[in-house]
Amino acid sequence: MTVSSKHLPAEERRLVTVETVIELAGEQNPSEITTAAIAKRMGLTQGALFRHFPNKDAILQAVMEWVAERLLSRLEKAIDAKSSPLDALESMFMAHVAFIGEHPGIPRMLFAELQRSGETAPKRMAQTLLRRYEERLNRLFEQGKACGEIDEKLDNEAAATLFIGTVQGLVMQSLIAGDASHMHRNAPKVYAIYQQGIRSRA
């Protein structure tokens, strides 16, 4: 981190901790990130870190809360900027891809967290984020049907699954290729195919 973490107010210290974890996740296996590594990157002792978070799971939960808040806010802004439901869906798709491009550690953390067995607070937060994301998509699908842009027979649940899965697929291929530009380069072409499948033929 470029900002000194030693003399920050509590809320700022928590935010810097979250940003540090996301940064580290972009550089190494998220499951191998230790509280010692987080503290070292921040120039703190583990004791100082634990004054703000009782354990690593609490840190991961804070990261997931940060991701949910920032991503959903970004998507809402993308949607609000468009009057057409189809345009809003495209803007939402591209905003999600751009968000991941800015924070490459996030998908690595999500994939690692979802592979953990049992219920954890971060995993529940990820599930809540997914539900809220699907609600936004469903709202746009219904608006699109109402104005005749989207096929009125569209299966909203399947369309939401495909929308999210398409973003995830782009992210996964980008991680495999080790090249973030792969995701940005292919996103418009991939979305164009998705849109052909949901738009009204009338």
The CATH number of whichever domain residue 191 belongs to comes to: 1.10.357.10
> Domain boundary at 54, 80, 97, which?
54
Domain boundary among 14, 36, 54: 54
Q: How confident is the model at residue 201 (pLDDT cuts 50, 70, 90)?
A: confident
- Say yes or no: 42 and 60 in one domain: no
Task: Please report the pLDDT score of residue 3 as a whole number.
Answer: 46
What is the per-residue pLDDT across 102-147, written as a single tens digit (0 to 9) for each?
998 888 888 887 777 778 777 888 888 999 999 999 999 999 999 9
Question: What is the domain extent for residue 17?
Answer: 1-54
What's the CATH number where 31 sits? Answer: 1.10.10
Query: With pLDDT > 70 as the criterion, what percentage of the chain qualifies?
Result: 96
CA atoms of 202 and 70, how far apart (whole Å) = 37
Within this chain, do residues 106 and 74 fall inside the same structural domain, yes or no? yes
Indicate if 155 and 76 belong to the same structural domain.
yes
Q: How many domains does the chain have?
A: 2
**Do 16 and 77 have their domain in common?**
no
Mean pLDDT confidence for 169-174: 92
Beta bridge partners of 150: 199
Average pLDDT over residues 80-107: 93
Same domain, 40 and 62: no
pLDDT band, very low/low/confident/very high, at 6 (cuts 50, 70, 90) = low
Query: Is 77 found in the same domain as 36?
Result: no
Those residues with Cβ within 8 angstroms of residue 6's Cβ, 6 or more apart along the chain or in another chain: 43, 44
Provide CB contacts within 8 A for 65, sequence distance 6+.
125
Q: Mean of the pLDDT values across residues 50-66?
A: 90
Does residue 108 share a domain with residue 91?
A: yes
Domain boundary among 18, 39, 54: 54
70 plus 1 within the same structural domain: no
Span 90-108, average pLDDT: 93
Residues 112 and 79 in one domain: yes
pTM above the 0.75 mark? yes
d(CA 156, CA 142): 8
Distances from the Cα of 37 to the Cα of 43, 70, 121, angstroms: 10, 25, 22
Does one domain contain both 128 and 142?
yes
Judged against a pLDDT cut of 70, whether residue 71 lies above it is answered with: yes
* pLDDT of 179 strictly over 70: yes
